[in-house]
Structure 1
């Protein structure tokens, strides 16, 4: 990975630590107290052993030290438990906030942006990559601070009693972080490639799972199995590369820590044999000094070894942060750089008027999708948008929903759309698409999404308007009937009418309808259209449809082809003109005649 990119990602990760609250500092504080307790424990052990072995004192003379030693051991255990517990809470708070921020960002960018990547890759970001940030905040950051404090504290108590031991500790300490850095240089890049492979595998697998019936229908199962196998093998290789890095770094750190402690033990061994006579300020080397320093020696290197162990967590977090930072810092392009910092709330009549002047709708990458458009929607007017597939009909709805950038002017009650507060504006909208989207939960929760406190009587009234109440009355659990993933538990027609009831509960001023009856049978289609006609009285609407026989009641029809408006008038006027609309009507009537014959 490029070093400049790694520094940027590390800086971004550290900027997020405020989400951990005071728990991060509390983790460090517990670590500091643990360090003080281990120094006291080493002092008590060395004092007792020196007295028992050298001074030949009875064990009863150290009863107070024994009680104190037991208390220190218990205290260290409690501090270790508290540190683990608090560090977990710190990481949990961070994950919760990052995941919420990611979901909010995805909501802000909208479905057009989200559909640019496979659903599995988004699942990988929201679940896997956010989870992999945990150890960076729960373990690595606190350990980085403790790796500096605890060794310095031990050096501060070792140097006054033996300067040679202090120099050995000071000289060998840099070996561990040095080799940790050398081994870990490729770890971040390996993790980044691993996450990329996981994202591809997740997207590949979920897309094939969603299209399983189509794959079987066209007898493509064997080829897709091979494709999934190839993606899985790539992910396996990346994972093994990461594991090799982790095991290698641990082995190297343990080796150099053992060598450093061995050097210290050799010094004391030769000093006790009178082969070395320096380091003790001329006061003579005592058993207390040797034991005290040797007991502290493993604890001196332990924070550095722990930091090396958790360095893998840093590499893992950097690998995960690349996609997260790219998403959270992404700004949709906008042609107007002088937008007000404070957006205006929606104001005006319930049914808005919309005036478009020379509007060009773009993708997030700045590619033109639709336009230039000049269109006017008056208060309470109903407009239908028709045209061949790919002409840009749904793009117009996404523009009004605020999910696509544009050039030109879109005035909503005289206020520019991009200057409106999105939440306030979307509260005036009701959207109903061709693929009904119900969520895991009860039927009641799905209908009352706009108002969680909606009464059962109101919900039943909405279901009545949507022509689906008889179905709900037939259910054993009624409004508590569970809805599974992908609208499991209800038919497409029932799901569409439940979605309609949800839309009716928003009391919207503008209905945006994207092929609302495309996936319905004739009976369900008639019920949905009747309910919509009643609900949209006093409201405005823009409906995208291929069903040209349902357009007679619309006030205005806009015909779109190749991203431009080619015709615009009433149903009767367009039918009397030569052009795309008349040709489409003729083709559709001919197709119906063939089907009936």
Structure 2
């Protein structure tokens, strides 16, 4: 059975190399402590025997040198770990920002995405910089200390060997609750960001409807929910640390009791040298707390792993959303040469868990065609395929007389204007949205031809208005007319419109049909997916998809 994906899968080769270096330096630091403990134990034993001499100064100097080496090793280890964390976060952020323009599913708001790639993604840093090095130390340092302890006393080593493994067992039990609490916190953070952006975008409407108090109360309830989720995560984190400290204290206490009774002569077994000497007892006492220190570090970072796994799950879900097989790179490209025609031959595509076979069709340059059929039959899928937003599983799509492939998709889309059902507007002014390349074309004329002049005139700042990603301030029909104005301005030769008159009143639908008719009259190729009988009647011909799902 394959291992369940985790946050560790996000660490690529370069950060892994940094983490290996970090772990190596951390092991060097931990491995120096038995030498320091031996010097301290020997010096105290010499002092108790009244035999301090020049050698004690040499031991003190050796202790100081080893301490400096440990400090330097810890510093190098920490720097490598933080560098690895920064690289992983930067890489993941870059990957998803590059994929975002290619994402077809716009159900996730930009606020949610921003929360994921800023606040949530930053939660990977403690996991990489603290948990991962701590796990490396746990695998080596305790075994080294048990070996050093066993060299002096097998009973003390046995105590540590029994007390140590109990900690990971209870930490694993606590970790199950930690991951669940972290997942709920991650979801609440995303919801809070999405709610804030939605409320800001809808602020004019909220004020007009006198709903400010209700909106404020709703936001306060969400904030309180986030506070409770965060406190739940902290409670689990403190619980894991408490469990560790309990068992660590019990283990150290048992070792101390054994050494105390051995030095008093009450216990005469368990040490290779009988009786146990003062120096050996101090050496073991100095090792015992440090035996548990890697486990302490792991426990304090245990909730970091839970948070990182929760973020990793969300990143993986986002990767699934953005994994739509869009053709091309989504980059600006020169227009593809050839007639603005479209042809499907034996095309089928797997979408939504079902294989959809589409009819063979040919749409000539300058022709207007309506794709008709019941919901779910594949009308939107056909338009997505025509725009290169989906990759067919079989068959061939020809555009401008050439196969639609990764090499031609961007150049083909330079000739296409797409009017989706749900409009997604970037955070730019309406002027820049309608004329993204600054062509200097007559905006007013394009707006009038799209029957959208009155829409812009009603906006508070006209063409300088920022609508927000959901087009707040305009209705769905108004947003589609603005997209048609954009098509007029862009000079697109192929117009693909998905249900352009859906959910609109008759007057607004008639305006959109008239605008599409103007585009058709100019010789542009128009393809619409629609149930609207009036719109279908305005096209040159209709293609029915019934029974082809």
1:273–1:34 distance in 2 versus 1, CA, 3 Å: same
Given that residues 340 and 525 in structure 2 are in contact (C-alpha distance below 8 angstroms), is that contact kept between their aligned partners in structure 1? no
> Shift of residue 208 of structure 1?
2.1
Which one of the candidate residues 178, 184, 194 is aligned to 1:203?
194
State the partner residue of 1:326. 317
The superposition leaves residues 535-590 of structure 1 with CA deviations (integer Å, 9 ceiling, x where unpaired) of x6xxx3326582537443235555653189834657xxx9xxxx9xxxxxxxxxxx
> Shift of residue 350 of structure 1?
5.5
The superposition leaves residues 294-342 of structure 1 with CA deviations (integer Å, 9 ceiling, x where unpaired) of 11111111001111111111111122222222232458688xxxx9xxx
1:100–1:376 distance in 2 versus 1, CA, 3 Å: same
1:125–1:306 distance in 2 versus 1, CA, 3 Å: same
The superposition leaves residues 207-259 of structure 1 with CA deviations (integer Å, 9 ceiling, x where unpaired) of 22222212222233233233323322322222211111011111221121112
1:202–1:464 distance in 2 versus 1, CA, 3 Å: closer
State the partner residue of 1:471. none
1:447–1:173 distance in 2 versus 1, CA, 3 Å: same
> Shift of residue 436 of structure 1?
9.5
State the partner residue of 1:594. none
The superposition leaves residues 468-510 of structure 1 with CA deviations (integer Å, 9 ceiling, x where unpaired) of 9xxxxxxxxxxxxxxxxxxxxx9653689xxxxxxxxxxxxxx
1:210–1:15 distance in 2 versus 1, CA, 3 Å: closer
Alignment of 1:303-342 (within 5 A): 303-329=294-320
TM-score, normalization by structure 1: 0.69
State the partner residue of 1:410. 397
Alignment of 1:158-557 (within 5 A): 158-329=149-320, 349=337, 353-356=341-344, 374-378=361-365, 381=366, 398-404=384-390, 410-413=397-400, 417=404, 420-421=405-406, 424-430=408-414, 463=438, 465-466=440-441, 493=463, 518-519=481-482, 532=490, 540-542=493-495, 546=512, 547-548=514-515, 550-551=518-519, 552-555=521-524
Report whether the alignment pairs 1:66 with 2:60. yes
The superposition leaves residues 40-99 of structure 1 with CA deviations (integer Å, 9 ceiling, x where unpaired) of 1111111222112224323x3322222221111111111112111111111111112222
Which one of the candidate residues 133, 137, 161 is aligned to 2:124?
133
1:131–1:145 distance in 2 versus 1, CA, 3 Å: same
Report whether the alignment pairs 1:50 with 2:37. no
TM-score, normalization by structure 2: 0.74
> Shift of residue 358 of structure 1?
8.4
SS in 1 for 2:536: strand
> Shift of residue 135 of structure 1?
2.2
SS in 2 for 1:302: helix
State the partner residue of 1:561. 530
The superposition leaves residues 237-286 of structure 1 with CA deviations (integer Å, 9 ceiling, x where unpaired) of 22211111011111221121112111111111111111111122244322
State the partner residue of 2:453. none
RMSD, matched Cα: 4.4
Unmatched segments (≥5 aa) in structure 1: 340-344, 450-461, 469-489, 497-513, 580-597
1:294–1:515 distance in 2 versus 1, CA, 3 Å: same
Given that residues 120 and 202 in structure 1 are in contact (C-alpha distance below 8 angstroms), is that contact kept between their aligned partners in structure 2? yes
State the partner residue of 2:20. 25
SS in 1 for 2:151: coil
More moved, 150-159 vs 177-186: 177-186
Given that residues 129 and 321 in structure 1 are in contact (C-alpha distance below 8 angstroms), is that contact kept between their aligned partners in structure 2? no
1:236–1:120 distance in 2 versus 1, CA, 3 Å: same
Alignment of 1:85-124 (within 5 A): 85-108=79-102, 110=103, 112-113=104-105, 115-124=106-115
1:273–1:142 distance in 2 versus 1, CA, 3 Å: same
1:555–1:294 distance in 2 versus 1, CA, 3 Å: closer
State the partner residue of 2:469. none
Given that residues 354 and 377 in structure 1 are in contact (C-alpha distance below 8 angstroms), is that contact kept between their aligned partners in structure 2? yes
C-alpha distance in 2, partners of 1:208/1:557?
37
State the partner residue of 1:478. none
C-alpha distance in 1, partners of 2:275/2:408?
81
C-alpha distance in 2, partners of 1:222/1:410?
54
Which one of the candidate residues 134, 137, 141 is aligned to 1:143?
134
